[in-house]
Structure 1
Amino acid sequence: MTAVLPRLLRALDRFHATHPWDHNAHYHRWILRRLPGRFTGALDVGSGSGDLARLLATRAEAVHGIDIDPTIVERARERTAPGAPVTFSVGDALEDVPSGLYDVITCVATVHHLPLGEALTHFRRLLAPGGTLIVVGLYRPRSLSDHLIDAVALPSNIAMAWIKNKGRRAPRPVAMTAPTRPATTAFPDIVRDARHVLPGARLRRRLFWRYTLVWKRGPSPAE
């Protein structure tokens, strides 16, 4: 299976080039379902062109998105309606986040670009008591179960591409994101490091080469 899978992935890349859809945006509604109906402030790390930040703004009093790519941040600003409670800035997620505490922190397809333990520790400091941290990340397949999930994802990915592009003469545009690199950390190592920093964090492997992490901070600032 491990020998065949790279060839299948290359074929999938060719298919995806002509039938693109956003694997990260697929999880945006999933994220919303795990958040309160209303909250005060939210931070979206690696905000790209701002789709998730604008979605969070339907529930939040204020949302801030940060991304290291200035071109994408400018695109996010252009696509945000005047008066919307959303701001964007260019910067390093570990150094340039505006000070303050956030009720919600989201990080989609970004944390594998950062030192995991350091990033999660930083997010924990920024999370208000009672707040929720949600990460959708990438991991490096290593175990048999990883490769089985990848195998299941192949037909699911093709089906989703057909559904999302059905009836379109031109491919559906995919939201702009900063250039990405492959994940280098296997899922068990991510689980170990995450739970060391965030005791009780819930992590799960998902389809489309992603995993999710959900952590709710206790009501005390010390938790």
Structure 2
Amino acid sequence: MTPLPHRVLQALDRFNAAHPWDHNAHYHRWILRQLPRRFGRALDVGSGTGDLARLLATRADEVRGIDSDPAITSRARVLTSEATPVSFVVADALTELPAGPHDVITCVATIHHLPFAEALTAFRRHLAPGGTLVVVGLFRPQTATDHLLGAAAIPLNAATGWLKNKGRGAPRPVSMTARTRPAGMTFADIAGEAREVLPGARLRRRLFWRYTLSWRRP
């Protein structure tokens, strides 16, 4: 199976612009289901305007969000109540991770901007024993299964965008994140490298051009 024609992708982009919704936030509730009901310290890597970090704060004693974009980080601070146990800092995800250990580390739509195995190694190093790492990432379609999932996501994407914006006078705002570049690694490459760094990691292709990875440190 070949990739989607360029004109189909252009039509999809136009529809998404008119009916925007957040593909990453779609997985936030799934992320929470992978985590304990209560935990101590959490770290959200690539935190953007902080939606996931604030959601983690409903279960955590302390949440730190890091992002490399100063403007987006400033916006996250503005959107966060002082009473919420969340802080945001501008930091490099490889060399400036806040001192751990952390009971939970999350990373959504960010790791494909980083050297993959090196990033997972850094996350593992900052995760507490028994802690949980959850990644939602992008991959480059290669196999027939990849392309079938992509094709299946098109009508679902359109339906979801229409439903989420139905009856609204203006499009619902989408959380700000740094500009996303296309993913370079295939799912097979991601799974192979992840299981070398994180033995026992669970990976799965998902709809809306995403995959998920979860791992609990022994």
TM-score of the pair, normalised by structure 2: 0.98
Q: Which residue of 2 aligns with 1:10?
A: 10
Contact 1:41 1:63 in 2 (8 A): yes
Amino acid at match of 1:202: R
Q: Which runs of 5+ in 2 are unaligned?
A: none
Runs of 4+ in 1 over 6 A off after TM superposition: none
Q: How does 1:35-184 map to 2 (within 5 A)?
A: 35-184=35-184
Moved more, 3-12 or 39-48: 3-12
Cα deviation digits, residues 149-196 of structure 1 (max 9, x gap): 000000010011011101001000000001111001100000000000
Query: Structure 1 residues 93-102 or 71-80, which shifts more?
Result: 93-102
Give the Cα separation in 1 of the matches to 2:10 and 2:154: 11
Alignment check: 8 A CA contact 2:25 2:52 kept? yes
Offset, 1:3: 5.6
Aligned equivalents of 2:7 and 2:185: distance in 1?
22
Letter in 2 for 1:184: G
Partner-residue secondary structure (3-state), 1:32:
helix
- Structure 2 CA distance, aligned partners of 1:35 and 1:51? 17
Secondary structure class of the residue paired with 2:121: helix
Asked if 1:216 is matched to 2:216, the reply is: yes
Following superposition, the deviation at residue 197 of structure 1 comes to 0.2
SS in 2 for 1:149: helix
**C-alpha separation in 2, matches of 1:5 and 1:30:** 31
Identity %: 68
Q: Deviations over 1:57-114 (max 9, x none)?
A: 0000000000000000000000000121000000101111111200000000000000
Structure 1 residue runs of 5 or longer lacking an equivalent are 219-223
Q: How many equivalent residue pairs? A: 218
CA root-mean-square deviation: 0.9
Deviations 1:19-73 (A, max 9, x none): 0000000000110011000000000000000000000000000000000000000
Q: Does the 8 A contact of 1:5 with 1:151 survive in 2?
A: no
